[in-house]
Amino acid sequence: MSAEYQVNGNIAVITLNNPPVNGLGHSTRTAIVNGMKQALNDDAVKAIVITGAGKAFSGGADIKEFNSPKASAEPSLHTVINVVEGSTKPVVAAIHTVCMGGGLELALGCNYRVAAKGAQIALPEVKLGILPGAGGTQRLPRVLGLEMALNMIVSGTPVPSEKLARTAIFNEVVEADVLTAALAFAAKVADVRPLPRVRDIKIDYPNYEAYLQFSRNTVRAMAGPFPAPLKCVEAVAAAVTKKFDDGIKFERELFVDLVQTTESKALRHAFFGERAASKLPDVPEDTPTRPIKSVAVIGAGTMGGGIAMNFANAGIPVQILEMKQEALEKGLATIRKNYENTLKKGKLTQEKFEQRVALITGTLAYEDIAQADIVIEAVFEDMGVKEQVFKKLDEVMKPGAILASNTSTLDVDKIADFTKRPEDVIGTHFFSPANVMKLLEIVRGKKTAKDVLATVLGLSKKIKKTGVVSGVCDGFIGNRMIEQYSRQAGFLLEEGCTPEQVDKAVEKLGFAMGPFRMGDLAGNDIGWYIRKRRYVEKPQITYSKTADLLCEMGRYGQKTGAGWYDYKPGDRKAYPSAVVNDMIIKHSADLSVERRKISDQEIVERLIFALVNEAAYILEEGIATRASDIDMVYLTGYGFPLHTGGPMFYADTVGLTNVVMSMEKYAKGRHGDAWKPAPLLAKLAAEGKTFN
């Protein structure tokens, strides 16, 4: 039973009860219809209230049921809403906390709606690559008007109930207990006839054609590769141009098409992937956490400053420790400037600006940070430097403080062993710019305590990051994979591509930036530094030397005004560089490689399948908990196109057998050893299975 039925005086109350958010899955839908029948058959019942138990009225259709027979099994949401709307007794929705998607569509099928102040009202289907498919696009414009409804449906953004109080969507918006208010309201309207129905309301918008055309143009320009936003406009247009029942039919057809698209499946994968990432099989959800009321960051450089801003933004005081007064002042000034820019853009109020700036203080003395609940080291990426810092932290930090390293590649177990409390040590790998990028790779050392992990996972949510746990290995999940991607990018240059051609090929797929523009942004010297270490530690790995030659020319990227591309002062636009292209061609000649024309398809396959193959090792070794964690790393930290669902989901979409077949083809070319399929990939492909 996913809804409860009770009679209160002469009013029946149907309470949706399907935790966590009263999703309208098959059992809940059945229970609502049964409740309606019971109420309609009971002569003593004069009116019906529908509400939700726990922390939602309803979060909408049960997304887990999509693309399964349960989604369309009767009673469908349409049937439920028809039963409610066709009721001969008044039905009142008592809305609180969350009323979204199918939940709002159900409420719009009721005769009346009473909402608690602060309830989040939304039709967020577009964010899942679909549109409201149970009458939302037809009924919302009837209660909110064309423009407001279209904005809500195309953006999917929740609106607090009180902001809609003056519209026809709610009969009352109350501060008091919403069920009590809805019962009183139901008693008041029990005998009122005819029963008002949203479907009977006329949309009054004389110049709707011009408005709809304007909306189509705007939405088309913003929708990128996603088909849903424009379909939302078409469905809303039908609310004005078609009879109600025809509009419902049209909406249904669009919904059925969209729910099958890869883009929608990818968005739903990302929705569940984000939530799954915070769960670890061996760290139960009720694991106790350590209170985090203060933070210290070691290093006031770009990374340290960005990290500190995250905590100030969440209202947590941060101390930044530096070695020299000058560096500290410079770092604090940069942070202030960043906040000033946000203030100037109107994205921050003066009050919040002052609060945030005041929450970040500086010090030169380790003793000053001793009482911080967590300290995050963001110093130079060198084991010797990390050793000094962690030995000092072990000496000064209070017992129970979490000692975190922002290392991007180094061995967190080794770092932990510099201390006498390795269970308190963890990796927190932020991505640059650290105050902007969503990803936080949380590196779990062999000895990291479970409560430390649970605390950092909770903290990542508090600072609005997507926390993904990685085991210890060189580069963790993200950078270990990107190395294979970069290697292929380098080989492509030797074999016939220009940086521009490679970048454009992946940018066409939807990448925010190709590998070479990315290198110029991040600084090519960073990869150079890492490769120099690799040449000593892992001489068996081959790299293209083009990136080293570039760095030897002093072309580190945007920061030196030249990298793979040329840059003009004050302009971040990348201009193809004749000098670099000559260097690449000469290097091919030095290697006696005959340059050839390489297709965009080959570029994309070689870059992405290289990521996927390394990811398969990562998954098999248990460095990542699940394939969707790897997708979340790439979607939130590496600009991988959202509509493809991340590298693993993309490979699943292409078909793992096809991936392996392409790899076999590339194995016959130069550096063919890179294309040996990881055992897990080979096995899944052979069995016709997928990663996700």
Residues with a catalytic annotation lie at 105, 125
Nearest distance from C-beta of residue 274 to ligand 3H9, angstroms: 8
Tell me which of 3, 23, 52, 119 binds ligand 3H9, using CB under 6 A.
23
Tell me which of 35, 90, 109, 133 binds ligand 3H9, using CB under 6 A.
133
Find the part of the chain contacting ligand 3H9 (CB under 6 A) among 40-48, 121-129, 302-310, 320-328. Answer: 121-129
Secondary structure class of 157 (helix, strand, coil)? coil
The answer to whether 121 and 160 are in contact (CB under 8 A) is yes
Tell me which of 47, 98, 152, 630 binds ligand 3H9, using CB under 6 A.
98
Q: Can residue 21 be called a binding residue for ligand 3H9 (CB under 6 A)? A: yes
Nearest distance from C-beta of residue 214 to ligand 3H9, angstroms: 25
**Quick one: 101 or 301, whose CB is closer to ligand 3H9?**
101
Contacts with ligand 3H9 by CB under 6 A: the residue count is 24
C-alpha–C-alpha distance, residues 429 and 306, integer Å = 12
The answer to whether 528 and 547 are in contact (CB under 8 A) is yes
Q: Can residue 295 be called a binding residue for ligand 3H9 (CB under 6 A)? A: no
- Token pair in block for residue 151: 């904005």
Nearest distance from C-beta of residue 279 to ligand 3H9, angstroms: 7
Q: Which position's Cβ is nearest ligand 3H9? A: 101
Find the part of the chain contacting ligand 3H9 (CB under 6 A) among 98-106, 109-117, 147-155, 434-442. Answer: 98-106
**Quick one: 404 or 439, whose CB is closer to ligand 3H9?**
439
Tell me which of 35, 75, 90, 124 binds ligand 3H9, using CB under 6 A.
124
Residue 347 neighbours by CB under 8 Å, 6+ apart: none
What one-character DSSP code corresponds to residue 497? -
What one-character DSSP code corresponds to residue 584? H
Q: Can residue 63 be called a binding residue for ligand 3H9 (CB under 6 A)? A: yes
Closest CA to 65 of 51, 54, 76, 53: 76
**Quick one: 23 or 519, whose CB is closer to ligand 3H9?**
23
447 burial class (0-12, 13-18, 19+ CB within 10 angstroms)?
middle
What one-character DSSP code corresponds to residue 533? H
Q: Can residue 301 be called a binding residue for ligand 3H9 (CB under 6 A)? A: no
Residue 420 neighbours by CB under 8 Å, 6+ apart: 394
Q: Can residue 125 be called a binding residue for ligand 3H9 (CB under 6 A)? A: yes
**Quick one: 199 or 670, whose CB is closer to ligand 3H9?**
199
Tell me which of 16, 77, 277, 300 binds ligand 3H9, using CB under 6 A.
77
534 burial class (0-12, 13-18, 19+ CB within 10 angstroms)?
middle
The answer to whether 71 and 63 are in contact (CB under 8 A) is no
Terminal-residue alpha carbon distance, the chain = 30
Q: Can residue 126 be called a binding residue for ligand 3H9 (CB under 6 A)? A: no
Nearest distance from C-beta of residue 136 to ligand 3H9, angstroms: 6
Q: HEC string of 105-133?
A: HHHHHCCEEEEECCCEEECHHHHHCCCCC
C-alpha–C-alpha distance, residues 246 and 636, integer Å = 41
Q: In DSSP terms, which residues pair with 13 in a beta bridge? A: 6, 49
Tell me which of 64, 163, 293, 464 binds ligand 3H9, using CB under 6 A.
64
Q: Which residues bind ligand 3H9 (CB under 6 A)?
A: 20-21, 23, 59-64, 77, 98, 100-102, 105, 124-125, 128, 132-134, 136, 272, 275
